[in-house]
Structure 1
Amino acid sequence: MPELAEVEKAANLIRDAAKGCKVVQVDTAEDSIVYTGITHTEFADELVGRTLLDTGRYGKVFYLTLSGDKRMPVLHLGMTGMLHMRGQDATYYRKKPKDDKDVWPPKFMKFILHFAPVDAEPDAPHIEIAFLDPRRLGRIRLCKDPLQEPPISALGFDPILCMPTLKDFQAKVEKRGCPIKALLLDQSFSAGVGNWIADEVLFHAAIHPEQVAKSLSQEQIKSLHHNITYVCQTAVDADADHNKFPSHWLFPHRWGKGKTKSTLKLPSGETASIKWITVGGRTSAVVQQVQKLSGNGDPKKKRKRVTKKEDDSDESSLTEMSEEDESDVPKKKAPAKRKKLTHSGLSQITASGLTLKGETKSPK
């Protein structure tokens, strides 16, 4: 799923394309799951006519700062959420059709923001940015003060924005009796760290994911503290483009669960032996020559599979999802009476009011 770096890229996309522009129109599709605490029409009504002042990110959540005293959009991409600017490619988990950028409105659209320069003529072309979510695990909210309200107010430290000092970090780690991988994935501990980032951090820190947090040595905690910042900042600096990641990273080798032979070279020149285990219900890649389990960790302890939270998918928008990877993703049962969302069910709100485009169809 999108993690810290990918969410930073999404926030930057909107900022770079539309900062200083006015929201002149909002198209929405009804979705009582993705829209949280609000309706799709309420969301659109609060945005139209306001100017984009900036965007921000905290953990895996990003938000838009708009002019005026109304609430601000607060967005979570969930497992497969993404942004799509008209005329450009969206970032998909699977290989997308070649003509996807020409299909508008895009499939799985939840809203489209239409931006125009403040002094633009009424018939000037719009900058259109859509929020898509195929699996409906993303969340769209409105908050008066995004940083002081849930979900952001309930999150832990952000490795880029407010990494704690080594002393404070050590104190947080030493009082936890869970596997270190599970701790890193806990968003109330380290906001923005997901499965691939946690694996990368632990590889560079030479720590086994099953190692009990409070059993780590001071040197291990120091290495962990350094590498959380290193991995997150490097991924952000690369604009979440895995082709720009360092060649010695685990990232390109951690997918597929052994279906392809490892080509990761260790500093010794030896080819890394990668093993896949489940820690806290999550698939974890372990380089056996580097990440040794010691202390209170028990490699023979039976690992129980647990249902993953919506924030904790194994997937990253930097890679395609293989069939094997999909087997780790919990399937949600559809509600008994679930409306089918179609493009004909879009609603459109402009400065002049609400216009319905056809009727939302529901199965008989």
Structure 2
Amino acid sequence: MAGWIHIRGEPSGHYRPKATKEDEEWPPKFWRLILETDSQPKVEAAFADARRFGRIRLVNCAAEDIKSTTPLIENGPDPVIDKDIFTAEWLEAKILSKKVPIKGFLLNQSMISGIGNWVSDEVLYNAKLHPEQYTNTFSSEMIKQLHKSILYVCQTAVDLLGDSSKFPDEWLFNHRGVKSKAAITLPNGAKMIYLTVASRSSCVVPSVQKMVVEFPAEVKKEDLNGGEDAESEKEIKPKARASNKRKAGVVEDEEVVKAEEEKLVKDESKGKAKKAKSTPKAKVGKVKIKRALSED
């Protein structure tokens, strides 16, 4: 979505298959940066970005230290290359320490690296989990299944070099490009819908992905109690009525002032219209003060 690295003589990203030709265009269209090695044979790489959303950062460190250097050190483990860190136990500890929808957790690169929008949808569908379910409501078994699904989807996509034409037929990826207000029927007969979760458009299959717990227990309790107990509600209602009474009084005062203003305007000549308009304003305060005293 924000640019691509092209290596001269090598095929580009498989999600947009393009035959490699000896006389291919070089540098590629919309290139922003070109790098060349001083080795023989020479290797050329170019960064192309039509929308200019991408950024390049040059880091001066040894290759083996790249992941422990900013900015990669701020990222979470990669499910494909960091399997020794990305364990089911590690994932459970991270998930239960948060209180956010699981879709938002998966998209957070500081938690797990490399899971974007479509990957998170595929993972949750494979794990039969709803994207809106809160992380602190997950059982150990649910997290273990989520861990397996993350490994399966990420490893499969990498093994296929991102060539979407080779993705399994049952994956949502093969159908998510068709956006419709109505539900989309998958080959297995299930309906797929779109929801907005974590500010992203999300594919969900309601018949498969069900929330075991709709909301955390604390939220449910607040919702049932309305955020206030019965005694608090009794105290609030009289205040609301008093406020309405005061508002009625103000409306009444305004009607009196308006009537007086109209009368004064009629009596005064056009040359004194300005004075006529200012006079009622002065009376507004008197009328209000008089009414306040009478109420006291």
TM-score range relative to shorter protein: 0.5 to 0.7
What is the letter of the counterpart of residue 139 of structure 2?
A: S
1:24-103 counterparts in 2 under 5 A?
Answer: 79-86=1-8, 90-91=12-13, 102-103=24-25
Equivalent residue number for residue 288 of structure 1: 206
Report the CA distance shift for 1:253/1:260 in structure 2 as closer, same or farther (over 3 A).
farther
Report the CA distance shift for 1:127/1:265 in structure 2 as closer, same or farther (over 3 A).
same
The C-alpha deviation readout for 1:226-276, integer Å capped at 9, x for no partner, is 11111100111111111121111111111232389845333xxxx120110
Equivalent residue number for residue 31 of structure 2: 109
Answer whether contact 1:80 1:93 (CA < 8 A) is retained: no
Q: Distance in 1 between matches of 2:114 and 2:164?
A: 17
Equivalent residue number for residue 265 of structure 1: 187
Report the CA distance shift for 1:165/1:105 in structure 2 as closer, same or farther (over 3 A).
closer
Residue 204 of structure 1: how far off its partner (Å):
0.4
Q: Choose from 101, 106, 109 the match for 1:184.
A: 106
Equivalent residue number for residue 140 of structure 1: 56
Equivalent residue number for residue 231 of structure 1: 153
Equivalent residue number for residue 94 of structure 2: 172
Answer whether contact 2:4 2:49 (CA < 8 A) is retained: yes
Between Structure 1 and Structure 2, the one with more strand by share is: 1
Secondary structure of the residue that 2:56 maps to in structure 1? Answer: strand
What is the letter of the counterpart of residue 291 of structure 1?
A: Q
Equivalent residue number for residue 159 of structure 1: 79
Max radius of gyration: which structure? 2
Q: Distance in 1 between matches of 2:97 and 2:183?
A: 39
Q: Distance in 2 between matches of 1:222 and 1:243?
A: 29
Q: Larger relative CO (CA 8 A, sep 6+): 1 or 2?
A: 1
Secondary structure of the residue that 1:183 maps to in structure 2? Answer: helix
Residue 86 of structure 1: how far off its partner (Å):
3.6
Equivalent residue number for residue 209 of structure 1: 131
> Where does structure 1 lack aligned partners over 5 or more consecutive residues?
1-78, 119-124, 302-364
Q: Choose from 121, 124, 129 the match for 2:45.
A: 129
Equivalent residue number for residue 40 of structure 1: none
Report the CA distance shift for 1:169/1:140 in structure 2 as closer, same or farther (over 3 A).
same
Q: Choose from 164, 168, 172 the match for 1:242.
A: 164
The C-alpha deviation readout for 1:109-157, integer Å capped at 9, x for no partner, is 1222334753xxxxxx854321111222222112233222211000112
Residue 159 of structure 1: how far off its partner (Å):
0.6
Q: Distance in 2 between matches of 1:207 and 1:240?
A: 24
What is the letter of the counterpart of residue 275 of structure 1?
A: I
Secondary structure of the residue that 1:142 maps to in structure 2? Answer: coil
Q: Distance in 2 between matches of 1:148 and 1:292?
A: 39
Q: Distance in 2 between matches of 1:281 and 1:241?
A: 27
Report the CA distance shift for 1:207/1:148 in structure 2 as closer, same or farther (over 3 A).
same
Equivalent residue number for residue 173 of structure 2: 251
1:199 aligns with 2:117: no
TM-score (norm 2): 0.63
Report the CA distance shift for 1:167/1:91 in structure 2 as closer, same or farther (over 3 A).
closer
> Where does structure 2 lack aligned partners over 5 or more consecutive residues?
220-296
TM-score (norm 1): 0.52
Answer whether contact 1:210 1:297 (CA < 8 A) is retained: no
Equivalent residue number for residue 353 of structure 1: none
Question: CA-atom RMSD, angstroms?
Answer: 3.0
What is the letter of the counterpart of residue 71 of structure 2?
A: P
Answer whether contact 1:206 1:290 (CA < 8 A) is retained: yes
Residue 292 of structure 1: how far off its partner (Å):
1.1
